[in-house]
Every structure is written in C-alpha cells, then in structure tokens.
Structure 1
Amino acid sequence: MEHGIWNMEYKRFEETEIWQLSKEIIVEIYKLTNEMNKKDAIFVDQMRRAALSVSNNIAEGYERNSKKELAHFLNIAKGSIGELRSLLMVSQELGLIEATDFKHLILKCEIISRQLKGFIRFLEKKT
C-alpha cells in the first residue's frame, strides 16, 4: 500500500507529513539557536540555513511540473537534512545544546531523511 504523498494524492506540499515535519524542525532550530546566536552567529546561520533548505526544497520540488524535477529537489533536501544532522552533532559536542534537545532533533532529522529516501525511490520507479 502506498503512503500519502507517494501516491500523489496530496494537491499541495503543505498537506504532506514530510513538509510539516521539516517546518517543525525549522521552528525548533530557530528557538534553540536564539541563545547560541550570541556565541557563534556564523554557526547558527549555517544551522538555520540547512533547516530552511529542507522544507524549501520539498516545496520547490513539489511545485515543479514533473516527478523527475521533484526527485531532484528531494535529493537536495536530503543533503540538507544530513548537513543539519552534522551541525547538530558538532553543536552537541561543543556543549551548545542539551542532550535531550540533541536526541529529539536528531531523531526528527532521521525520520525526515528516511521519508525523503523512500519518496525519492518511489519517484525514481515511476519515471
């Protein structure tokens, strides 16, 4: 049985679980990095950009005219979620975020990554 967006039953990217999760992570990253911003603005900026890139690439790909283009943008989003995981690992090792926040965000990143991978595979089979 195909799941949600994988059978293209959603008309808008905003309806998809994968975009909603990626939007949630942006809000969480922004809240988390408000205090960090005073310590290392460049690091915070990169973390925020990576988080923003995930949802924005899902949205941009979804608004394109073909499954091939959608798969391309989902691949970019997958790269960005990997970048965010890497940044979270470094920030945790530097003591910039609490262990509970780290575990929660890493788990969410891994869920998004798996969903992106599955959706990309589905689209590649359909093109």
Structure 2
Amino acid sequence: MKTHKDLDVWNEGIELVARVYEIVQKFPKEEKYGLVEQIKRSAVSIPSNIAEGAARNSKKEFLQFLSISLGSISELETQLIIADKLGFLKNKEIFSLIEKERYKLLGLIRYLRSDKNVQK
C-alpha cells in the first residue's frame, strides 16, 4: 500500500522545506522570532498537511488537507515576497520551487476532484 512518502508532491514539499531553512539562516538575527518563524511554519505546513490528508479515510478529507497545503504555499510565497522587499532574500530561485510545488499540488487536487475519483 502506498503512503504519502510515495507522492512526488510530498517529496518536493520536503525539499522545499529544506531549501527554505537554508535561506532563512541568512536573514537578520532580529527576524529570528518574527518573519523567520512564520516562513518556517508555512513551509513545514505544506508537506505536513499532504501527509495528514493522505492518511485519512476518504478522498474528500484528503482534498481538505491538500487545500490547506495550497493555502500554506500562498502564505509562504507572500512571506518570501515580503522578505525580498525588505532586502533579506538574496537568491530568488525559491520562487520557482514554490511554483513547481503549487503546480503539482493543483494537479493532484484536480485529479481527486474529478467525479469518478471523489468518495463522499
């Protein structure tokens, strides 16, 4: 039986978290308990909700958790845009990783929402 660890979207979410943690280490120390913690929480929420949803008993519940992950992606992107505007972000390649994760997540959501796949 497959688990969340078999999902590309979950694995790429883990990679995104690792990259985010590398990036925020270079932020100013005074942001440690502000923007840095918010960014880390948003990033960790993405694969965490994918995993929790995959462990649920129905595709409907899985979709709810994927929707939360999608919200976390937007939250993370917004926080990183703020960090960039404040001059904290040196390398902007993180935005392409976010887009890749969003694209994969939306694809999975579309697949699960198709009428033949959703269990009530």
**Which residue does 1:15 correspond to in 2?**
6
**Which residue does 2:27 correspond to in 1?**
36
Q: Which letter maps to 1:119?
A: L
**Percent identity over paired residues:** 33
Q: Which has the higher contact order (CA 8 A, sep 6+)?
A: 2
> How many residues of Structure 1 are paired with residues of Structure 2 in the alignment?
115
CA distance in 2, matches of 1:59, 1:83: 19
Label 1:63 to 1:37 Cα distance change in 2 as closer, same or farther (>3 A).
farther
* TM-score, normalised by the number of residues in structure 1: 0.85
**Which residue does 1:107 correspond to in 2?**
96
1:3-22 CA-partner distances (Å, limit 9, x unpaired): xxxxxxx7011121111111
**Higher fraction of helix:** 1
SS in 2 for 1:112: helix
Superposition deviation, residue 35 in structure 1 = 3.0
Give 5+ residue unaligned stretches, structure 2: none
- Paired residues of 2:49 and 2:66 also in contact (CA < 8 A): yes
Pairwise CA RMSD: 1.3
CA distance in 2, matches of 1:39, 1:85: 21
- Greater displacement, 30-39 / 109-118: 30-39
Give 5+ residue unaligned stretches, structure 1: 1-9
CA distance in 2, matches of 1:58, 1:37: 31
CA distance in 2, matches of 1:52, 1:94: 23
**Which residue does 1:62 correspond to in 2?**
54
1:80-115 CA-partner distances (Å, limit 9, x unpaired): 0011111111111111011xx22x111111111111
* TM-score, normalised by the number of residues in structure 2: 0.90
